[in-house]
Structure formats: C-alpha cells, structure tokens
Amino acid sequence: MARNRRTNQKIQPASAYFCAQIQNMKQLVALIGAVVLTVSLVVLGFTYRQAHEQRASLLDDLQRRTALLADSFKESVRPSYLSNASATMQSLLDKFAGRERLLGLAVYDNKGGLFETSAGLSQDLTQNADVAEKAMDSDSATGDFASTDQAVYVYATPLHEDEKIIGALVVYQRADYIGQSINETWKTSLLRLLIQALLFSLAVVLILRWIIYQPIMRMAEAIRQTRTGKSAGNSAMFGHGFFKPIAAEINKMSHSLILARTAASEEARMRLEKLDSPWTAERLKEFFKAYLRDRKIFVVSNREPYAHKKVKNEIQWDVPASGMVTALEPVMEACGGLWLAHGSGSADKLTVDKDNKIQVPPDDPKYTLKRVWLTDKEVKGYYVGFANEALWPLCHLAHTRPIFRKEDWLEYRKVNGKFAQVLLAELKDVQRPVVLVQDYHFALLPAMIKHSRPDAEIGLFWHIPWPNAESFSICPWRKDILEGMLGADVIGFHTQQYCNNFFETVGKEIESLADLEKFAITHQGHTAHIKPFPISVAFNGAEDNAPEAKSELLERLDIKPKYLGLGVDRLDYTKGILERLRGIEFFFDLHPAYREQFTFLQIAPPSREGVEKYRQFNADVTAEAERINRKLETGSWKPIVLLKEHHTHGEIYPLYRAANVCLVTSLSDGMNLVAKEFVAARDDEAGVLVLSQFTGAARDLKEALVVNPYSAEETAEAIYRSLTMPESEQHRRMKKMRDTVKNYNIYRWAAEFLKALTSQG
C-alpha cells in the first residue's frame, strides 16, 4: 500500500504558494481580529458607561432647569388665572414661550380642562392633561416625557389659592438635544475606535512581520537548506533578538547535521561496490553520482505519486494507493529528477505552475512532478478500457476474460503518443537522458521515445506478471505491444519466470534475434536486455525503530480481540479477497473455540470503479463479508471487519505491528509489497505472514506460510498454525524475512536497475 504523509499544508508553486499565503493571511487576520475584538469590547463598554452617565446628567439638568422656569412663571401666571383674564394670560404665556429650548406653556383648571396655551403649541401636546392631573392630585410638581414624534419633557406644577389647588401650570421643554448629544458621543467613540483598530492592526502586522515572522522564516529557510544539503549553514540567517538563544542551538545542530551527512556520504561512497552492505538513500545518491554522473532521471507512469483534492475550501494532498508509487517514491526522493504522470486529482490543476509542474513531496520538495491532462474519453479508452479490461486480466490469468475493443486500443495508442510528446519536450535540451517507464499502461512508449531520441537510455519495468506465450497470443495487438516494449534498453520483471515467459512470447510473435547467454533480444537493430529485478520497500530503519504505536483505528472500531488478523489490499479481483474470506469462515468452522477470540480486519479501498468488473467485485466482497458475519457474529463481536476506504501508511503501520497474522492471498501478483511492508514493520520479530504461492514475494520471503489461496482448507490451516505458532519460531521466521527485505530494499533495487540500464550503453 502506498505511503501517505498527509499534511495541512499543502501545496507548492504558483497557485500552491498563493494558497499557502492565504492560509497565513487567515491566521494573521484571526489574530488581529481577536485583538481588535477585545479592544473594541473594552472601548464599547466604556462608551456605553459614558453615554449612560451623560444621559443621566443631561436629564437631571433638564429637570432642574424646567423646575426653576416653572417656579418663576407660576407667580406671574396665577393673578391672571384668578381674575380669569384670558387675554392677559395669553399675552404672558406668549411672552415666556420660545426661550432657549422652551416649546411653550399651558394652564389647566382644577378639573383638567385646558384654560389657555401659548401660541404655536401643538394640540398633540395640550390635549393630554395626564401630567397636569397627576400634579394636582399629588399636590406636587411632576415631570414626564410626552408620547409624541418628538422628544418633549412635560413638567406640571399646581397653582394654589389659600392652599387650595385651583389649577396647574405646564411647561413643555424640547428634549431631543439629549439624544443628539448621546449619538454624537457614540459617533465620536466609534470613529476613535476605528482609527485605533487600524493603527493597532498595523502595529501588530509590523511587530509580527519584523520581530517574529521574518526571523522565524529565516531560521526555517536556513534549517531547510541545511537539511537538504544546499547550504553549509549560515548563522546570520537565523535571526537575533528574542530568538538568539534558539538560533544559537539550531546553528549547532545544523553544523552537527552537516558533519553527519558528510560522514554518511563518505561512508556510502566507500562501500559503493559492496552489495552485501545495507543500501540507504544516501548510498543510492552516491551511486547515482558515480554511475550516472548526475544525469537527469525521468520517470513515466500513469499513477501520480501525489494527488491534490479540494475538501470544502481547502486543498489537501495524499499519496494514492499503489505499489508502484510505494516503491519508486523513495528512489525519486533520493535521486531527484522529473516524474511524468496523469494528473487525476480534483485540485491538481490548481496546484501546478504554467508548465504543469509542481515540486514534491509537498512538505519537503525533492523532485519535480509534471502532470499530463487526459480527457474523459481518453481515460475511459486507455485506462479503464485497454489497460484494465484487457492487459490487466490478460497478464494476471485470474479467471477474468480480457475484453479487447478497437476503440480502446486506439485511445491507448493515442495516450502513449501524448505522453511521448510531453516527455520529448522535456528531453529537448538534455544530453543522454535516463528514462524509466513504468508498467503496462505505457507498453508503446519506449519505442516512441527511442525513435526520436536514440541517445536516451530507456528502462521499462513491468510491475505485473507476464503470462505464458499461449495466453498472450489472444491479444489482437500483441505485436505492436511487444515492438513498443523492445524499444527499451532494459526490460525488467519481478521474477525470472516472467522474463522467461516474455522471452518465449517475443520468439513466437515477432522476428528477432535472441541471445540466451545475455538474455537479450535484438529487433530492428536495437537490443533490449531482459532481467529480473524483484522490487521491494524502503526499509530504512526510520520507522522500524519507532516505539510501539497504538492504533487509533482499532480503538475507534472498538476491536479488542485476543488475536488480530489483517488484510491490506485494493478491492481487486486478483487479490484473492473472496477466497480469503471463505478461508476465514472455514477456519471458524474447524476451530469454533476461536470465535470471539479472533477478529479479521480487512482494509480494502475501492479501485478502478469505472470498470464494471471492479464494481461487481466490490459488491461481492461486501455481500460475502456480511453473510459470514450474520452466520458467526455474537453480541458485539463479529469475525470480519471490512473497511472499504483508503488509509494512510501512518494509520496502517500500527495495524501491521498489532496483527498476529497478515494474510496476503493474491490469486496472481507480480510481487505484492504489502507482504514486505508487514515484515519491515515488525521490528519486534513477532507475527506471522501467510502468503500466496502465486505472488512474486513468495520467492523472496521463504519463511512465510505459503498457501494455495484457492484452497480454503490451506488458508484455514495456515491461520490456525499462525495463532498457535511458538514465539521462538515466529522470531526465527520473521528475522530471516526481515534480513531479506533489509538486504534487498528499494534502494538496492533502483541501483541494480540503473546500473543494468547504464551499462548497456
């Protein structure tokens, strides 16, 4: 299964860089927003308190001034009211009205009737005698606000004659200035707040940029250059001030790392010719320098090593499930170069530059990925049709009839030509390029490249089995395929048997000169060497020495068995998943004591869902797992847990370490790297590998329990033997298998393949 180093960041060049900057801006805006919000709440709180106090003060002043006015007016008004001198009263009221904010005055009799008002006073105000009546009833001055469209303060004071209430004087004062004053206070405060927020935000940005962000970025860049070997370290880049103590320590660590890398490089150079010593990424780099003299490597595959997809408003990346990607990714990280692949991710176009390129891995760039875009018609014909409905079943011989359609073949040839054009454009200014073509998707590509660039050294690695000559002869375009493949200088297969089958197929189908001593085929003046290169995994010790990690997946699924079985496969009919499930059912029938003691977890992400056979196989596996569970489950326990979703290498690694037995029961498999990944993960030298005899891995991992996957009895017996195997035997078997994988890891595979390729020139 493919490694998947998910990260929350996500991308590179052009739009990728832009997206990263957007993410940084979001964080900066969030920080500034939080600070501004806090300051705003404080300012708004103080402003609210100020406005409240100001309102209270203005109201108190209004009431006090109105009371003084009323007291001064009533002594002048009372004589005219007593003498019932209406004209005189009117003259007095008009004389007093209109001063400052005084709207007018009115006099009411002791029954609440209106006696006289100043000129211009609105009837809406005078027809309501409630305030006057309250003043007379209580024999005390009373004030209130009138319920009108304008803010008016109404103040009434009783009129007396010999301590008898004879009426009331009402004063009407404008009060709208209070609201205006409060509004002005709020406007001033908010304007001040806006200015403060802008200045404060600017200050925060400057502080973060000059005091924190830039020094951190300089430190990060210096560390990155040191880590990638591009710089001998520069303490001036680390920054000063707050970060000076940290910078000093990082500078020391960087210097130590440089010394360690230099020592490792020298050691790798010294043991370059000793194939029995461990192969590492550093040793492969030295090999690359010595044998290829830094010539550029070009890898071509259908599957891209990194795919980008859009999740909500965020672009994420992952590593697709592919044994080919699992194998070649460490090689490209070690040697660099350019990887040409079909861009199939939903956000792939958003992350590349104008040349459709992106630096990968996204979190630690080591090489260039160039994406080729295919139409839906091309994908359907070339990939879904000819590659996976014709060549895949033809080569695997897994009882699925190949489907040959001329329209699929035409698309297959067209897409091979499209990739050839893109690759030739990249090779234009490159002298003696090294081209590594991957798998059955590009059988025609080697001859296309060799025809235009005879100086290119081309290696083709066939990641799946090669059938016998009789089986391959049913392909209508077999000669075109063979001639396309023979354009390579070296054609690699997993096993010698596949090489033999290919050699025999060419001999029966096309005119050529076969050299059995060198195992080479000469066709139309060009010689291709046929060699076995059993592919492997990295096994660099980085993960294998890690402390025991608990599987969050097991905890989430609440799987707590005494014994755990594990299967990790794409939902592909060649992987023998149906046969595996029937073997598990047979195991429980033979050994019922293991019910509720043993749980089998099958990780099976869907694959090639555009192919009808794969959709049907998906449904068949689901139905079979459900049938067995209905038959055997008790309470909360069920024998089979089927997870049809992709999981990262980080999620699967703890499962490898937790499993008592790993089942790899492929019906036909070129190699199967799951078996080798399981072995590489078991640094505790525990656990048992049950391995199909029809995998290439069975020839390498001889200490596994090898079974015929078509036999449910053999699979059941192997499971029982695994669960009852003494620890001493487990350790002995696992140690030998780990030595095999360690001694022939992917770095050695790459070195031998590249050496074979460059030595033919």
Question: Which range in 7-16, 31-40, 681-690 is most confidently predicted, on average pLDDT?
Answer: 681-690
Interatomic CA distance for residues 584 and 566, integer angstroms: 11
User: Could you give phi then psi for residue 707, rounded to 5 degrees?
Assistant: -130, 160
Instruction: Annotate 407-448 with DSSP letters as a single string.
Output: HHHHHHHHHHHHHHHHHHHHTTT-SS-EEEEESGGGSSHHHH
Q: Is residue 233 part of a domain?
A: no
Q: Is residue 228 part of a domain?
A: no
Across the chain, which distance is largest between two alpha carbons, in Å?
Answer: 145
| Helix (H) or strand (E) segment spanning residue 351 | helix 348-351
In this structure, of 127-131, 347-351, 609-613, 661-665, the range with the lowest mean pLDDT score is 127-131
Q: Which of 121-130, 307-316, 370-379 has the lowest mean pLDDT?
A: 121-130
Closest CA to 679 of 729, 724, 732, 739: 739
Amino acid in position 347: A
Q: How far apart are CA 51 and CA 739, in angstroms?
A: 81
89-71-98 Cα angle (round to 5): 55
Last residue of a domain, one of 477, 502, 532: 532
pLDDT digits (tens, 9 = 90+) for 441-475: 999 999 999 999 999 999 999 999 999 999 999 99
Q: Are the beta carbons of 452 and 475 closer than 8 angstroms?
A: no
Which band of pLDDT confidence, cut at 50, 70 and 90, is reported for residue 477? very high
Question: CA 603 → CA 326, 534, 565, 663, 676, distances in Å?
Answer: 17, 25, 11, 11, 16
Angle in degrees, 0-180, between the axes of helices 496-509 and 478-485, rounded to the nearest 10: 120
CATH number at residue 129: 3.30.450.20
Are 598 and 674 found together in one domain? Answer: yes
Question: How would you label 393-402 residue by residue, b for 16+ Cβ within 10 Å and e otherwise?
Answer: bbbbbbebeb
Q: Which residues contact 753 (CB under 8 A, 6 or more apart)?
A: 436, 459, 461, 490, 492, 533
- Is residue 191 domain-resident? no
| Residue 296 and residue 358 in one domain | yes
Tokens of 615: 């959709």
Q: For residues 340 and 425, give the distance between their C-alpha atoms in angstroms, rounded to a whole number.
A: 12
Same-domain pairing of 639 and 583: yes
At what angle are helices 176-207 and 15-82 packed, to 10 degrees? 160
Partnered with residue 515 across adjacent β-strands are 520
- Residue 25 buriedness (CB in 10 A; 0-12 / 13-18 / 19+): exposed
- The residue behind tokens 């806090």 is 38
> Under a CB-based contact definition with an 8 Å cutoff, are residues 104 and 70 in contact?
no
Say how far apart CA 649 and CA 191 lie, in whole Å.
Answer: 55
Identify the band that residue 387 occupies on the pLDDT scale cut at 50, 70 and 90.
very high
Q: What are the pLDDT digits (tens) for 276-307?
A: 567 888 888 888 888 887 788 999 999 999 99
Query: Are the beta carbons of 225 and 200 closer than 8 angstroms?
Result: no
Clarify whether residues 573 and 480 are in a common domain: no
pLDDT of residue 248: 67
Tokens of 594: 């293991």
Burial class (CB in 10 A: 0-12, 13-18, 19+), 191: exposed
* Residue (of 566, 530, 577, 574) closest to 696 by Cα position: 574
Residues 479 and 585 in one domain: no
Q: Which of 532, 566, 595 is the last residue of a domain?
A: 532
**Which is more confident, 49 or 550?**
49
d(CA 210, CA 108): 75
Distance between first and last Cα of the chain: 34
Model confidence over 316-357: pLDDT tens digits? 888 877 778 888 888 888 888 999 999 999 899 999 999 999
Spatial separation of the C-alpha atoms in residues 672 and 325, rounded to whole Å = 13
Write the pLDDT tens digit of every residue in 546-589: 444 556 788 888 888 899 999 999 999 999 999 999 999 999 99
Amino acid 34: pLDDT: 78
Average confidence (pLDDT) over 134-159? 83
Q: Are residues 405 and 482 in the same domain?
A: yes
Q: Is residue 613 part of a domain?
A: yes
Contact between 349 and 307 under an 8 Å Cβ cutoff? The reply is no
Residue 244 to residue 238: CA distance in whole angstroms: 8
Tell me how many domains the chain contains: 3
Residues in CB range of 230: below 8 A, 6 or more apart: none
**C-beta separation of 473 from 503 below 8 A:** no
Contact status, residue 170 vs residue 154, Cβ threshold 8 Å? yes
Looking at residue 693, what DSSP letter applies?
T
385: in domain: yes
Least confident of 11-25, 286-300, 387-401, 655-669: 11-25
Asked if residue 528 and residue 475 are part of one domain, the reply reads yes
- Judge contact between 649 and 3, C-beta under 8 A: yes
Distance between CA atoms of residues 51 and 184, nearest Å = 10
Q: Is residue 267 part of a domain?
A: no
Domain closes at, from 146, 174, 202: 174
The per-residue pLDDT for 93 is 66
559 and 482 both lie in a single domain? no
- Is residue 281 within 8 Å of residue 298, measured between CB atoms? no
pLDDT tens, 413-435?
999 999 999 999 999 989 999 99
Question: Which phi-psi region, left, alpha or beta, contains residue 556 (left: φ > 0; alpha: ψ -120 to 50)?
Answer: alpha
Alpha carbons 366 and 332: distance in angstroms, whole number: 8
**Are 698 and 709 contacting, i.e. CB atoms less than 8 angstroms apart?**
no
Q: Comparing C-alpha atoms, which of 550, 539, 553 is closest to residue 602? A: 553
Contact 525, 486 (CB under 8 A): no
**Closest residue by Cα to residue 47 from 234, 229, 207, 192:** 192
- Cβ atoms of 10 and 16 closer than 8 Å: yes
Predicted pLDDT of residue 7: 39
Residue 278, preceding bond cis, omega within 30 degrees? no
Residue 67, pLDDT score: 83
Structural domain boundaries, residue 521:
289-532
- Can you give the pLDDT at residue 580? 97
Going across the sheet that includes 640-643, the strands are: 640-643, 598-603, 563-568, 661-664, 688-692, 705-707
Report the CATH number at residue 347: 3.40.50.2000
The predicted pLDDT at position 257 comes to 66
Confidence of residue 263 (pLDDT cuts 50, 70, 90): low
Position 110 scores a pLDDT of 82
Query: What secondary structure, in 3-state letters, does 79-143 show?
Result: HHHHCCCHHHHHHHHHHHCCCCCEEEEEEEECCCCEEEECCCCCHHHHCCCHHHHHHHHHCCCEE
pLDDT over 70 for what percent of the chain? Answer: 84
Q: Specify whether 396 is located in the same domain as 501.
A: yes
How long, in residues, is the chain? 761
> Is residue 207 one of the residues assigned to a domain?
no
Indicate if 312 and 461 belong to the same structural domain: yes
Does 517 lie in the same domain as 556? Answer: no
Query: For residue 425, is it within any domain?
Result: yes
Same domain, 476 and 613: no
Distance CA 721, CA 682 (A): 19
Threshold 0.85, pTM exceeds: no
Residue 567 phi, psi (nearest 5): -130, 135
541 contact partners, CB below 8 Å, separation of at least 6:
none
What are the distances in angstroms from CA 270 to CA 283, 417, 643, 745? Answer: 9, 43, 47, 19
Q: Residue with structure tokens 């080798």? A: 676
Q: Quick one: 455 exposed, middle or buried, by C-beta within 10 A (0-12, 13-18, 19+)?
A: exposed
Q: What pLDDT band is residue 662 in, cutting at 50, 70 and 90?
A: very high
Q: Return phi, psi of residue 531, to 5°.
A: -140, 150
The answer to whether residues 680 and 7 touch, using CB atoms and an 8 Å cutoff, is no
**pLDDT single digits (tens) 675-709:** 999 999 999 999 999 999 999 999 999 999 999 99
Q: Rounded to the nearest 10 degrees, how much is the dihedral formed by the CA atoms of 518, 397, 341, 412?
A: 100
> What does the alpha-carbon distance between residue 369 and residue 367 come to, in Å, rounded to a whole number?
7
